[in-house]
Amino acid sequence: MAKQQPILKADDLSKRYEDGVLAVDHLNLNIYPGEVYCLLGANGAGKTTTINLFLNFIPPTTGTCYVNGIDVTKDPLEAKKYVSFVSENVMLYGNFTARQNLDFFAKLGGKTNLAKNDYYQVMRRVSLQEKAFEQRVKNFSKGMRQKLGISIAVIKDAPGILLDEPTSGLDPKAAEEFLEILNELKKEGKAILMSTHDIFRAKEIGDRVGIMKEGRLVMERTREELQYEDLVKIYIDYMKSEPLTLS
């Protein structure tokens, strides 16, 4: 790959909470444009905290997060222009329709001149049913919510995309559709960081896979490397082994 700048970069990132828990322990990540990086780990491994650190929802104890080269703690507003976020339970306004939600978040993301058709196009692209466009989202299934969530990321058209366990709770068909969209976005050149504990999907979609355990990145493999190794076995081995440190 060309010597590009990483869109999402974590530089010796650490986070210790007030109650003493070390959630992230000297994390180093570099995610380049056009790649999908899957972050695996058990619950409490630090995946969600990492994402929260990238979004400046919490300040780091040491180290820095960079989005598109911008330090997120020093200039959060600027940094957030370059990253989209899809959370595990997509957060939407229940009393608004899909289009109204999309419209609002698009405007927040800086896209203020879009028309109704532009929204329809994006929603079609993520395979959301036509009849759902003008329906209130409080009646949406989980799959529909995820699709709307990704369409919000699509419409923002930011170079970096953060996803927090996006396929958890989705039925296989919906999960497949979702990952197809991610693939397309990757081909468009987006840098995608996806946290998950779905090993199978991670192996499918990830250009690189990392395993987090107790805040540390204990393993990182590329797709090529994983063809020769059994990711499942590696993962379970790591999960079963003695705890690295007592935090």
Q: Given the rule CB under 8 A, which residues bind another protein?
A: 52, 55, 57-58, 77-78, 80-81, 83-85, 87, 89-96, 100, 104-105, 107-110, 112, 156
Cα–Cα nearest to 220, from 204, 238, 242:
238
Residue 195: HSE in the Cβ half-sphere, 13 Å Cα cutoff: 24
> What whole-number distance in Å separates Cα of residue 2 and Cα of residue 8?
16
Give the shortest CB-15-to-another protein separation in angstroms. Answer: 12
Q: Which residue's CB is nearer to another protein, number 73 or number 95?
A: 95
Give the shortest CB-138-to-another protein separation in angstroms. Answer: 10
Q: Which residue's CB is nearer to another protein, number 84 or number 196?
A: 84
> What whole-number distance in Å separates Cα of residue 47 and Cα of residue 65?
14
Give the shortest CB-57-to-another protein separation in angstroms. Answer: 6
Q: Give the SS3 label for residue 189.
A: coil
Give the shortest CB-100-to-another protein separation in angstroms. Answer: 7
> What whole-number distance in Å separates Cα of residue 125 and Cα of residue 177?
11
Give the shortest CB-150-to-another protein separation in angstroms. Answer: 13
Q: Give the SS3 label for residue 186.
A: helix
- The amino acid that residue 54 corresponds to is F
Q: Which residue's CB is nearer to another protein, number 161 or number 217?
A: 161
Q: Which residue's CB is nearer to another protein, number 90 or number 185?
A: 90
User: For residues 34-58, b (16+ Cβ closer than 10 Å) or e, as one string?
Assistant: bbbbbbbbeeebbbbbbbbbbbbee
Q: Which residue's CB is nearer to another protein, number 57 or number 200?
A: 57
